[in-house]
Structure 1
Amino acid sequence: MDRLSHAIAILDDLIAYPTVSSETNLEMIVHLATLLSEAGAHVDLFHDRSGLKANLFATLGPEGPGGIVLSGHTDVVPAEGHGWSADPFRMCNQDGRLYGRGSCDMKGFIAATLACLPDFAAADLRRPLHFAFTYDEEVGCLGARQLVDELRHRKIAPAMAIIGEPTEMRIIEGHKGCNEYTTRFIGTEGHGSAPESGVNAAEFAARFVQHLLTTREDLRERAPADSRFEPPWSTLNVGQIHGGTARNVLAGEAEVEWETRPVAAADAAFVSEAMEDFCTNVLLPEMRRIAPDARIETEVIGEIAGLVPMAENAARDLVARLTGENAADLVAFGTEAGLFQALDMSVVVCGPGSITQAHQPDEFLEIAQLDRCIDMLVGLVRQP
C-alpha cells in the first residue's frame, strides 16, 4: 500500500473514535500506541486524574536531547445537532475530500505521521523523532499542559516541534494566546418591586461586562506599532451571560463567560489586573453593603500561551526547506505551540487542511493536502 492510501486508511480508523473532549480518548490512544510500538518506538502514556484520558509520547531513534516533536491533539469538538449530511464519525471519501469529524482538526496530521512510520523506522535516524498526541486541546490545552510538565520533569529536551494544526500547509510562526474565564456573581434574591432589598447578581454582571468592554477599548491603544497580527491589538470577547429566574425576581446568581486573546503576556496581565481591581474595589464593596456573604468568583477555564514569532526559528526554517514555502505567517486561532515553545524549543505550526473547516458540519480534508503533508514528513529522514 502506498503512503497516501495508508494514511487514508488510518484516518478512516481514527475518525471512527468519537473522541469529543467530554469523552474518553483512551481507545484511540491505545490504537496509536500499538502502531507506534509495532514500528519500534518507545511509547509512554500519561493519564489524567480521572484515568479516562491520556497523552501519548513516543520516540524513534537514538535517546538523548535534541530531535523533533510531531504533535497533534486527539480530541474533537461535538458533532451532534450541527447539520451533518452523514455520520460524522464514519469517514466519507468523496470528490477528493475526506469527510468526518476531526478529519482536518487534526486527525489528518496524525494519520500522516503514522503512514510515514515505515520510512522513519527504516531510516538511520541521527536524532530522536518524537510523537506527541494529546487530549483536551479543544477545551484549554489541558493535555499538552500535563505533557509539557512531564517532559520538563523527565528532562526530555527536544530541539524543535512541528504542530500539525490545519494551515493548508502554510508555515505559521506565531499566534495570539487565548485565555478563557467564567466569572460568577452570587447575590441575594428578592422581589422585583424592591430592587434595593437584595443584591441583583444580573445587574452586577452587567456592570462587569461594561467594564470588560471599556478594557477592550484600552487594549486597542496598547497595540504594538510593529504588530503583524490582524487585528494588531489584543482582543476581548463576551461569549455568554446567564442569570436570574424571572423578570420580577432579583437574580441571586449570574455568570459571564469571556475570553481575551493577548498579543503579549503583558496584555493578559493588564486585563486580569483591571478586572480584579474593578471587582475588589468597586463591585464587591457595593454588594456586601447589602449582603455580607455576596461574592464574585472567577474560574480559569484555560490560559493558552501564544506562539511568539522569533527572528531565529530552526523549526520554521526546516519546514520551509521541506515544503518549499518561502513565507511565514501569523494566525488568530490558538494551538498548543506556545506550551512547547516554553520548553525552549523552536516551534512552527504547519499541517494539512483549512482552519475554515474546523468545528464545522461536514468537516473535510482535501486528499491533496494530506499528500503534501506526507511529502513534508518523509523529507524529515533526508535531513542532515
Structure 2
Amino acid sequence: MIMTLPSFIQIYNELITIPTISSVTNEKLDYSNKALIDKLANWFADLGFSISIQPVTGTRNKFNLLASYSNDSNHTQGGLLLSGHTDTVPFDEGQWTKDPFKLTEQNNKWYGLGTADMKGFFAFILESLRDIDLKTLQKPLHILATADEEITMAGAVHFAKTATLQPDCTIIGEPTSLIPIRAHKGFVSNVIRVIGKSGHSSDPEKGINAIEVMHLVIERLLQLKQKLKDEYHNESFAVPYPTMNLGIIHGGDAANRICGCCELVMDIRALPEMDIHSLFDILCHSLKPVMDKYPNRIEVKYEVDPIPGYECKKDEPALQEVEKLLNQSAQTVNYSTEAPYLNQISPTIVLGPGSIEQAHQPDEFVDMAFLTPTKETIQKLIKRFCC
C-alpha cells in the first residue's frame, strides 16, 4: 500500500483549521462542510478507497462522504463502518484561550474546536490505517462522514434513507473515553406559544394575559413530567425515567401592559423504547384543558425535528464482540448521537476518543494519552470485522 498521507498532527490540524460550524438560527454561522469533505476524500482516495460524495437535502450546501475499501465484488455486505460527523457547534469567542481553528499542543492535550466532538476521530482513523495492509481485508471497510449532526441530524437521516450497504457493525466515534455505549435517550424540543390579548394594565378584564395563561400551561406540564416519571422506567440508565426540562421562557414588554405573547421552550429526554412522535400527542392531550379554555390561543410545535432514542440490545453479537475486544461492558448515556439512524442499517455502537465533558466547551481538547489506545482499538475492530 502506498502511503501518501501527511503526519497525524498535520492531518489533525488541517481538519481543525477548516470551519464547519452548524447553526439553525444564524445563517452566517452555518458553514458548508464541503472543503473538509473534499480533504477527507482525497486522503482516503490516496489509500485506495472508492469515494462517494452526496449532497444532503434540506441543508445549506452540506455533504456526506462515504469512503469504501473492498477486495471483493460484494462490497456492500458485511464488514465495518466507522462513522463521524464533520460539523461543530459555534464557539464562545471571549471564553477560549486558544485559537479554535488551530490544533494547539499544550499540557499533553490537543486543543481546538472539534478535537473531541468530533472531527478529530477522522485523524485517528487515518493514523490507524498506516499499519494495516488493506489488501488483506476479506470484508469491506467503510468510512462515513456526515453533515449537520449538531443541529438536525440531516446527514445521518439522509444516509439511512439512501444507503445500500449492510455492515456487520457500525462504530460512531463520539468522545466516550473509549467506553462502548449501547443506548441513549431520545430528544424532543417543543415550543409552546400563548397568544393573549394586550391592553392597559389598569383594566385587566379587557385583555388576556399570556403570562397568566402560560402559568396554567406550566402547571399541566409539571403534572405530565411526574406522570412520565411514574409510568416509564429503564434501569439501564443512571436516570431511569424520561426527563422534562423547561429551558427558556419569555413574554411581555412593560409592567403597565397586559402581556400579549408568552413563549416557552422545553425538552423531553425519552427512553429508547418510547415512540418519540407519540410524545407530541401526549403533550397536546395534557394541555387540552387549557387549550379548551383559551381556544386558538395556544400553539405547540417542534423546535427541531425530534431525535429518537437508541438501543443496541445486550445480546447483539456485534456488541458482544466489541465488549470482548475491549474487555469492557457497554454503558448507556443521556446525550444524543446519530446512532438511532445508523442502527437502522447495522448494529451500532458509540465509541471514540476524548471525553464528552469536553464537547461544546471553551478550549475543547483531547488528551494525548488517547492516541495509542484509540489506534489499537480501531485496528482491533478492523481486524475483527474485516479479516
TM-score, normalised to structure 2, is 0.88
Aligned to 1:176: 185
Residue 317 of structure 1 is matched in structure 2 by: 320
1:118, CA displacement in angstroms?
Answer: 4.1
Equivalent pairs counted in the alignment come to 372
Give the alignment of 1:263-274 within 5 angstroms.
263-266=271-274, 268=276, 271-274=279-282
Aligned residue number for residue 67 of structure 1: 79
Q: Residue 145 of structure 2 corresponds to which residue in structure 1?
A: 133
The residue that corresponds to 1:6 in the other structure is 7
Q: Give the letter aligned to residue 310 of structure 2.
A: L
Cα distance in 2 for residues equivalent to 1:162 and 1:77 = 22
* Aligned position for 1:342: 344
Please name the residue that 1:332 is paired with.
Answer: 334
Task: Tell me how far 1:183 sits from its aligned partner.
Answer: 2.4
Match of 1:245 in 2: 253
Deviation of residue 364 (structure 1)?
0.7
Pairwise CA distance, 1:237? 0.9
When residues 196 and 264 of structure 1 are mapped into structure 2, their CA distance, relative to the original with a 3 A threshold, is farther
Structure 2 Cα separation of the partners of residues 267 and 65 of structure 1 = 30
Q: Any idea what the Cα deviations from partners look like across 1:99-136, whole Å, max 9, x if unmatched? A: 11111111221211122344456332222111111111
Partner amino acid for 1:212? Answer: L
Offset from partner CA, 1:156-201 (integer Å, 9 cap, x none): 3222210111111111111111122222233332222333323333
Q: Tell me the SS of whatever aligns to 1:284.
A: helix
Structure 2 counterparts to residues 270-289 of structure 1, below 5 A: 271-279=279-287, 281-288=288-295
Note if contact 1:188-1:294 (Cα within 8 Å) is conserved in structure 2: no
The root-mean-square deviation of aligned C-alpha atoms, in Å, is 2.4
Match of 1:303, SS state, is coil
Answer yes or no: is 1:84 the counterpart of 2:87: no
Query: Partner letter of residue 286 of structure 1?
Result: K
Residue 27 of structure 2 is matched in structure 1 by none
Distance in 2 (alpha carbons) for counterparts of 1:56 and 1:180: 29
Q: Which residue of 1 aligns with 2:26?
A: none
Deviation string, structure 1 residues 13-61 (Cα, Å, up to 9, x no partner): 1111121112222211121122122222222222234452112122111
Gaps of 5+ in 2: 24-29
- Secondary structure in 2 matching 1:221: helix
Identity %: 33
> In the alignment, is residue 212 of structure 1 matched against residue 214 of structure 2?
no
Residue deviations 1:138-167 (CA, integer Å, cap 9, x gap): 11322211221121xxx3322221011111
2:371 is matched by which residue type in structure 1?
L
Give the alignment's TM-score, normalised by structure 1. 0.89
Question: Structure 1, unaligned stretches of length 5 or more?
Answer: none
Checking the alignment, whether the CA contact within 8 Å between 2:88 and 2:117 is kept in structure 1 is: yes
Give distance in 1, aligned partners of 2:52 and 2:259. 49
Structure 1 residue 268: deviation in Å? 4.1
**Given the alignment, which residue of 119, 122, 135 partners 1:123?**
135
Alpha-carbon distance between aligned partners in 1 of 2:64 and 2:174, rounded to the nearest angstrom: 17
Residue by residue over 1:247-272, the C-alpha shift from the partner in whole angstroms, topping out at 9 and shown as x without a partner, is 22223322211111111343746643
In 1, are the aligned partners of 2:84 and 2:121 still within 8 Å (CA)?
yes
